[in-house]
Amino acid sequence: MSSDNSSSGFAPLNWISKRTRSAYHCKISCDDACFKPVPNQSGNEPFAAILNRRISRRSLVRATIAGAPLLALSTSPLGSQIFGSAPLTSRADAASSTVGLQSIPHDNEDAINISDGYSSNVVIRWGDGVIPGAPDFSLSCQTAEAARKQLGFNCDYNGFFPLLPGQSQRGLLGINHEYTSPVDMFPDYDADNVTSEQAAIEIASHGMSIVEVSRADNGSWSYNPSSSHNFRITGETRMMLTGPGAGSIHTITQADPTGAEVLGMLNNCAGGRTPWGTILTAEENFNQYFANAGTAGAVARYGLPELASRRHWEDFYDRFDVSREPNEPNRFGYLVEIDPYDPSFTPRKHTAMGRFKHEAATVTLSDDGRAVVYSGDDERFDYVYKFISNDRYNIFSRSANLDLLSSGTLYVAKFNDDGTGEWLPLAAGTPPLHAWTNAQIATFTKLAADEVGATPMDRPEDIEVNPINHRVYIALTNNTRRGTEGYDPVDSANPRGPNTHGHILELTENGGDAAARRFTWDIFILCGDPSDAEQETYFAGFDKSELDSISAPDNLAIDANGNLWISTDGQPSKLGQADAIYVVPTAGPERGRIRRFMTGVPAGEMAGPEFTPDFATLFVSVQHPGESGGLDEPTSTWPDGDFPRPSVVAAYKDDGGVVGT
Ligand code: FEO
Ligand code: CA
Ligand code: CA
């Protein structure tokens, strides 16, 4: 297919005939929404053989990477001033990283527990006022008008932005609102009789909140409900598409003949900060909001519901009904750039970075100053991506940098069995994408990546670049279908089948340059319960007898010493324990020694770990406490003892020191 003159039923290269469709299921974790070819199941190697190929070298040679120049947040206020200097490109060597905190036991308490010597407090809760003058939250009297001014539901990513250069006591917190759980929001919710007001409240409860936060002398944090910096982005906020997918035949709708103006963002999960001080936030499971997509063309690969959606928004909004607006889903599933310092900035959905179930939007700079963005497609057997901008970061012009992510080349990862790998370009005219246009690649990225031979992974979640050792850490949360009948077999990069507990890969770009086309990789951690002899686990070679359990790694953060912080999403069902925050050194004699820092509440994911620039505070989202328990007899009443409220907490050391030391 060489032009954009096709309809939204675009089905390049008859991919659908090669794939098997599983039953659609709206579970937000996307466990049951994946579509993959039926693989050859005959060649599964024994786990030990596969694993040993990839861990022996790193187990023998314990990298000693070192101490800690931090991400240089730059030196002047508000946006252009604050983010005026070049960050992230240092090549400092490092000493052994260490972690000073005590690991805490797992639990199932309806409370946040934290390591000795630390405290935490709730900063902001679902329904708290964001826009000055917002009405007080009322569980029984919710309105869409109020919700547009209040903190949305199910906080996930957090991004901290100083209000003054290097400031760590006060700043703006950008908080994603990934999705809504109406049964946990509305006391009278009836899934068969959704009201228009409930649908409007749900749409208003998506998106993002920007709130001013500050630290008190005792280390605790609060937000300022009267701050003029505060604003909301919802599922209705006007946004623009940029890049090759903008204004194409695939993005034009009846309501928007330009094909470049979109209302809202949906299912924003992980995210990241750009060097120029904007937020990049990832639209993940956007498919679930649409209805009546049928099964033809690309819609099945993207998991769009064949018939009604679970939320029934299509009953009130034509744009969510694919039979009426067939291109509307093509306007979701992007990385979205937002300026936290400027409420008037129109958010930009950058199509050049592809359309898929984005999780992670991790930005760094290449050696020659181009922007490099890592992102994963959180679906079973989907891919890890990297985008490289055409233009270079401009130290003198923040406004110029706002266009950086609009044009560049998107790559997808192929992990070879021998521990090498390559980034395969997704570019029109580049074999085997001879017949594709860049608009098609930008809009139907999953299908383009299928064509080039990317490696199907075990649900890529967050990705972080370690500024100390320059390695890239990739959380693969789990894949219970890996190696089972009808699905892809295990491989070196995804060595367990079924992969119940997930794993973390450590990728090294050739030459340490983020723009490299080739890389090497190792398995860093194979999660699970190391005390269970039946489970195959691995912790970078560290003695497992000293370690506790971990499952379903999701979001990642790196601290001042290059230690990896991990939040989990799925331990209640996988290990029978609350989700938690862990920390693990990436270097030195304790490389692989995982410690549990903080535990969440029943049925609540821990998400969005984010340090302040001084690393003395760690913000964490407690997402979906008591999820699906309903409001009659909730399985969690955190944080206030009445009904569950997704909230952001701040964790800090009682002596005011750096977290983790
Ligand atoms: Fe929204 Fe992939 O977690
Ligand atoms: Ca996530
Ligand atoms: Ca998740």
The CA 461 to ligand 2 mean position distance, Å, reads 6
pLDDT value of residue 172: 98
Could you tell me the pLDDT band of residue 296, with boundaries at 50, 70 and 90?
confident
The model's pLDDT over 500-528, given as tens digits with 9 standing for 90+, comes to: 999 999 999 999 999 999 999 999 999 99
E-state strands within 393-482: 408-415, 420-426, 457-458, 460-465, 471-476
Q: Count other C-beta atoms under 10 Å from residue 426's C-beta.
A: 24
Q: Which ligand sits nearest to residue 555's alpha carbon?
A: 2
What is residue 583's three-state secondary structure?
A: strand
Distance CA 354, CA 448 (A): 10
The CA 390 to ligand 3 mean position distance, Å, reads 31
The model's pLDDT over 23-55, given as tens digits with 9 standing for 90+, comes to: 222 233 333 333 333 232 334 455 666 666 666
Helix (H) / strand (E) element for 204: namely helix 196-204
Inform me whether the pLDDT recorded for 168 exceeds 80. Answer: yes
Q: Which residues of 41-55 are buried (b: 16+ CB within 10 A; e: fewer)?
A: eeeeeeeeebbebbb
Give, using CA atoms, the residue closest to atom 1 of ligand 1: 269
Least confident of 42-51, 291-300, 628-637: 42-51
Token code pair at residue 123? 């900063």
The model's pLDDT over 368-390, given as tens digits with 9 standing for 90+, comes to: 999 999 999 999 999 999 999 99
The CA 311 to ligand 1 mean position distance, Å, reads 19
- Point out which residues pair with 169 in neighbouring strands: none
**CA 44 vs CA 50, 456, 483, 493, 616: distances in Å:** 9, 15, 7, 13, 46
The residue behind tokens 């999403």 is: 569
**CA 351 vs CA 332, 373, 471: distances in Å:** 10, 13, 26
Q: Which ligand sits nearest to residue 379's alpha carbon?
A: 1
Q: For residue 601, what is the DSSP state?
A: -
The CA 554 to ligand 2 mean position distance, Å, reads 5
Could you tell me the pLDDT band of residue 166, with boundaries at 50, 70 and 90?
confident
Residues enclosing ligand 1, CB less than 6 A?
Answer: 178, 269, 284, 359, 378, 461, 554
Distance CA 231, CA 211 (A): 7
The model's pLDDT over 582-602, given as tens digits with 9 standing for 90+, comes to: 999 999 999 999 999 999 999
**φ, ψ (nearest 5 deg) of residue 444:** -120, 55
pLDDT value of residue 98: 79
What is residue 579's three-state secondary structure?
A: coil
Q: What is the mean pLDDT of the chain?
A: 89
Tell how far CA 4 is from the center of its chain: 30
Distance CA 62, CA 82 (A): 38
The CA 271 to ligand 2 mean position distance, Å, reads 9
Conformational region of residue 218, where left means phi above 0, alpha means psi within -120 to 50, and beta covers everything else:
alpha
Q: Which ligand sits nearest to residue 579's alpha carbon?
A: 3
User: Which residues have CB less than 5 Å away from ligand 2 (the ion)?
Assistant: 269, 554
Distance CA 524, CA 503 (A): 8
Token code pair at residue 410? 């998107």
Closest atom of ligand 1 to 569 CA is: 3
The CA 92 to ligand 2 mean position distance, Å, reads 30
Q: What is the DSSP track for 2-49?
A: -SS-S-TT--GGGGGGG-EEPPP---TT-TT--EE-----TTPPPHHH
Closest atom of ligand 1 to 269 CA is: 1
Q: Which ligand sits nearest to residue 552's alpha carbon?
A: 3
